[in-house]
Amino acid sequence: MIPTLATAPTPCLVLDEARMNRNIARLHARLEGTGVVFRPHLKTAKCIEVARRLMTSPAGPAMVSTLREAEEFAAAGVVDLTYGVGIAPDKLDRVAAIRAGGCDLAVLIDSVEQAEALTRRGDCIPALIEIDCDGHRSGVVPEDAARLLAIARALPPGGPRGVLTHGGESYNARSAAALRAAAEGERLAVVRAAAILREAGFACPVVSAGSTPTFLAAESFEGLTEFRAGVSVFFDLFQAGVGVCGPEEIALSVLTEVIGHQSAKGWTITDAGWMAMSRDRGTASQAVDQGYGVVLDIAGRPLGETIVIAANQEHGIVAARPGSGAPAPAPPIGARLRVLPNHACATAAQYDRYLVVGAETGEIIAEWPRFGGW
Amino acid sequence: MIPTLATAPTPCLVLDEARMNRNIARLHARLEGTGVVFRPHLKTAKCIEVARRLMTSPAGPAMVSTLREAEEFAAAGVVDLTYGVGIAPDKLDRVAAIRAGGCDLAVLIDSVEQAEALTRRGDCIPALIEIDCDGHRSGVVPEDAARLLAIARALPPGGPRGVLTHGGESYNARSAAALRAAAEGERLAVVRAAAILREAGFACPVVSAGSTPTFLAAESFEGLTEFRAGVSVFFDLFQAGVGVCGPEEIALSVLTEVIGHQSAKGWTITDAGWMAMSRDRGTASQAVDQGYGVVLDIAGRPLGETIVIAANQEHGIVAARPGSGAPAPAPPIGARLRVLPNHACATAAQYDRYLVVGAETGEIIAEWPRFGGW
């Protein structure tokens, strides 16, 4: 039996279907008429129902962050996947098994060693070369043409399926101009890498860029064949802090219940602590620190300047934002609240299902399972 | 088939059985001859195999942080449980169902409203009154005798089963003297509350204190009937930073694999990002910031000053500790490492099993399932 917002055991994860659908429509509209393929990242959703709505077709394409995701989505009929974390050779048997099931799963490499491991196998697992556009983590800088070509030449004949970059530093952008610059830097890095490979005779059919902030800020997709974004299916307070969405677009919240008060301090205690919200405090480094999340009423309406100011494992401490001078709310024991998360990926990972709230009644209309692990 | 440290899919959670057994022996020895009952907190373990070793009997007593834990451990034969998070009235049907199955599950309250909700039911669910010993979160301050007695009088005849406090502020102690003071403050608060109740005619049979730091630092247990501790079964870098264990006593680590390098920066990239380690950065506020964890070799031996300096969702960035001047390690792609976590509760929560490494061979000898959720 599907519970209601008033009866669902708390804490639990609520997904606002109408907001999600609007976010997806915005993503799809972004690339319309550009000829650039949308390859959504499914690491945030980890749910077949969400994936089917987010992908441009039930068969893909899509991006994953774990082989567990690849296995789950391949089993659900997705036939075009990229595993977006550098591959270790001993994971290749698992990749081959997924491919043998009919899914065209590609891997990511940024070293000659990885290319040689693929060549030694002889089973034609396709690889993209990761390009480092901003020093954020992995990848070859496009200026290092020698390394780029050495990797391509160490692959089986035909070379890489393409090049791929992730503008992770865009998460630290603090203005619209900085976001646009990050998007352009991401595009130029991967286009330049593709040009180097093509000049050397490699076809390099795929030129892939992507991050939620750059996807929404980019002014040009020229030279790209595909774009990726993940968290934008739900959004979160961190993305709102970056400026790529408003809090009213965040589709995910944690339903929680009041379990006590410390009235002298203006605190309301709830049953959504950091286990329910995750330990992600990404907004702590932004202009507005949202604590462990922004507190709404049960219907999702704002409650003034109310946030989760602190959290223990299974206790949330709800109060007016420090320094706001706002009145401290004190909903009674048993009252239900919803909390917008700092980071959709981290918060959703704490749950095994989404309780989907429909637009028409504002009530739970479905439970969608989600998975975790590797 | 049980995998080996060399073949287990990474990232995965490794439990060093010998270290765990030594930690448990230390906990059990702590209360020997005192007449004080040890009620371990099972919120860290969430695993029946670990619980059976940690409890003083297979039937309990024990403490839990979620009703899911209560249900799982009750089903496994534990008959004496305390749910250590303030109860909301609409959770009481679930509590009653667990009790009907033969488990004496007690709840925690700190308000007249909660006491009245219990009285209205008439099914004699036992309640402890939570005492606030340090302003950390919930509870009645022992100085507020009027509130304490009002709660006790709102309960069914007989009053509360007892009083309980958690010295959560001990986690912020920065010296042995501060830890001893926190332990004594915790003890005195709950003993004083019990005295107030007993003077008013309530039996108040249980006087319960507990936190890992105060358990290990306490000089006196006088007046207490039971003590609780949880994370001490595994320990973690945060507890090492508090000074209650050494890093060589930490029983939990994440097994990970090298997937790349950024040699110019001295970085090694692994497949254990924040999803594998959790977002917990508790050591950031301590004297030694351990990043996302301390890196060991596959056998659990230290690798100098090597830590996870940064993490993305599925990428860990391993390097020499900033400022240490230590040489940067560069294990090859495919090499396996182990990472000690900041916070055992948060890291373990990311996994559905423990891979248990035995002392004799230093290899995996068992897989123990663990659960999550609420």
Mean pLDDT of B282-288: 94
User: For testing the chain A interface, which of B90, B98, B354, B371 should be mutated: the one with the most A CBs within 10 Å?
Assistant: B90
The chain A residue lying nearest B68, using CA atoms, is A9
Mean pLDDT of A343-372: 97
Q: Residue B333: its chain A contacts at CB < 8 A?
A: 88-89, 111, 113-114
Q: Is the pLDDT of residue A9 over 90?
A: yes
- At residue A26, φ and ψ (nearest 5 deg) are -65, -40
Contact residues, A window 37-96, toward B, CB-based 8 Å cutoff: 43, 65-67, 85-91, 94
Q: What is the pLDDT of residue B321?
A: 94
Which residues 6+ apart lie within 8 Å of B272 measured at CB?
B10, B11, B254, B256, B308, B311, B316, B339
Closest CA–CA distance from residue A129 to any residue of chain B (Å): 12
Q: Do A312 and B137 touch (CB under 8 A)?
A: yes
Lowest-pLDDT range of A234-238, A321-325, B172-176, B204-208: B172-176
Q: Is B338 helix (H, G, I), strand (E, B) or coil?
A: strand
pLDDT in tens, B312-330: 999 999 999 999 988 878 9
Q: Is the pLDDT of residue A247 over 90?
A: yes
Q: Is the pLDDT of residue B288 over 90?
A: yes
The chain A residue lying nearest B270, using CA atoms, is A86
Mean pLDDT, chain B, integer: 96
Residue A237: C-alpha distances to residues A26, A250, A271, A356, B203 (Å): 18, 8, 20, 20, 49
Pairing of strands A80-83, A62-64: parallel
Q: What is the pLDDT of residue A183?
A: 95
B359: nearest Cα among B11, B13, B20: B20
The size of the A-B interface in CB pairs under 8 A is 149
Q: What is the pLDDT of residue B88?
A: 94
Q: Is the pLDDT of residue B223 over 90?
A: yes
Contact residues, A window 168-187, toward B, CB-based 8 Å cutoff: 168
Q: Are B215 and B231 in contact (CB under 8 A)?
A: no
Which residues 6+ apart lie within 8 Å of A224 measured at CB?
A36, A187, A190, A191, A207, A208, A209
Residue A117's CB is within 10 A of a number of other CB atoms, namely 21
ipTM: 0.96
Q: Do B257 and A334 touch (CB under 8 A)?
A: no
Q: Residue B346: its chain A contacts at CB < 8 A?
A: 274-275, 279
Mean pLDDT of B68-96: 98
Lowest-pLDDT range of A166-170, A192-196, B247-251, B254-258: A166-170
A97 shares contact with chain B (CB less than 8 Å) = no
- At residue B181, φ and ψ (nearest 5 deg) are -65, -40
Q: Which comes out higher in pLDDT, residue B171 or A224? A: A224
Q: Are A98 and A105 in contact (CB under 8 A)?
A: yes
B292: which 2 tokens? Answer: 């996302």
The chain B residue lying nearest A136, using CA atoms, is B312
pLDDT in tens, B329-359: 899 999 999 999 999 999 999 999 999 999 8
Q: Do A317 and B257 touch (CB under 8 A)?
A: no
B258 shares contact with chain A (CB less than 8 Å) = yes
Closest CA–CA distance from residue A131 to any residue of chain B (Å): 12
Please tell me whether the peptide bond between B322 and the residue prior to it is cis, using omega within 30 degrees of 0.
no
B200 shares contact with chain A (CB less than 8 Å) = no
Closest CA–CA distance from residue B333 to any residue of chain A (Å): 7
B106: which 2 tokens? Answer: 């007690």
Q: Do A138 and B260 touch (CB under 8 A)?
A: yes
- Candidate from B269, B334, B374 with C-beta closest to A90: B334
Q: Is the pLDDT of residue B173 over 90?
A: no
Q: Is A237 helix (H, G, I), strand (E, B) or coil?
A: helix
Question: For residues B180-194, b (16+ Cβ closer than 10 Å) or e, as one string?
Answer: bebbbbbbbbbbbbb
Closest CA–CA distance from residue B25 to any residue of chain A (Å): 25
Q: How far is residue B344's CA from residue B278's CA, in Å, rounded to a whole number?
A: 9
B10 shares contact with chain A (CB less than 8 Å) = yes
pLDDT in tens, A135-185: 999 999 999 999 999 999 999 999 999 999 999 988 888 889 999 999 999
Q: Residue B169: its chain A contacts at CB < 8 A?
A: none
Structural domains in chain B, CATH included, are: 17-233 (3.20.20.10), 245-369 (2.40.37.20)
What percent of chain B has pLDDT above 70? 100
Q: How far is residue B27's CA from residue B56's CA, in Å, rounded to a whole number?
A: 10
Residue A374: C-alpha distances to residues A19, A43, A86, A91, B33 (Å): 29, 11, 14, 11, 46
Q: What is the pLDDT of residue A1?
A: 84
Q: Residue A132: its chain B contacts at CB < 8 A?
A: 262
B328 shares contact with chain A (CB less than 8 Å) = no
| Helix, strand, coil % in chain A, rounded to nearest 5 | 35, 25, 45
Q: Residue A373: its chain B contacts at CB < 8 A?
A: 351-352
Q: What is the pLDDT of residue A41?
A: 97
B11 shares contact with chain A (CB less than 8 Å) = yes
Q: What is the pLDDT of residue B174?
A: 84
Q: Is the pLDDT of residue A327 over 90?
A: no
Q: How far is residue A351's CA from residue A371's CA, in Å, rounded to a whole number?
A: 8
User: For testing the chain B interface, which of A109, A231, A238, A262 should be mutated: the one with the most B CBs within 10 Å?
Assistant: A262
Mean pLDDT, chain A, integer: 96
User: For testing the chain A interface, which of B138, B238, B261, B347 should be mutated: the one with the most A CBs within 10 Å?
Assistant: B138
User: For testing the chain A interface, which of B12, B309, B374 should be mutated: the one with the most A CBs within 10 Å?
Assistant: B374
User: For testing the chain A interface, which of B69, B275, B317 should be mutated: the one with the most A CBs within 10 Å?
Assistant: B275
Q: Do B350 and A372 touch (CB under 8 A)?
A: yes
Q: What is the pLDDT of residue A329?
A: 85
Q: What is the pLDDT of residue A216?
A: 87
Query: What length is written for chain A?
Result: 374
Q: Residue B279: its chain A contacts at CB < 8 A?
A: 278-281, 343, 346
Mean pLDDT of B353-367: 96
B279 shares contact with chain A (CB less than 8 Å) = yes
Q: Residue A107: its chain B contacts at CB < 8 A?
A: none
B212 shares contact with chain A (CB less than 8 Å) = no
Q: Residue B271: its chain A contacts at CB < 8 A?
A: 85, 88
B7 shares contact with chain A (CB less than 8 Å) = yes
Mean pLDDT of A81-95: 97
pLDDT in tens, B96-136: 999 999 999 999 999 999 999 999 999 999 999 999 999 99
Mean pLDDT of A254-270: 97
Q: What is the pLDDT of residue B328?
A: 79
What percent of chain B has pLDDT above 90? 92
Q: How far is residue A125's CA from residue A161's CA, in Å, rounded to a whole number?
A: 10
Contact residues, B window 343-372, toward A, CB-based 8 Å cutoff: 343, 345-346, 349-352, 372
Q: What is the pLDDT of residue A174?
A: 84
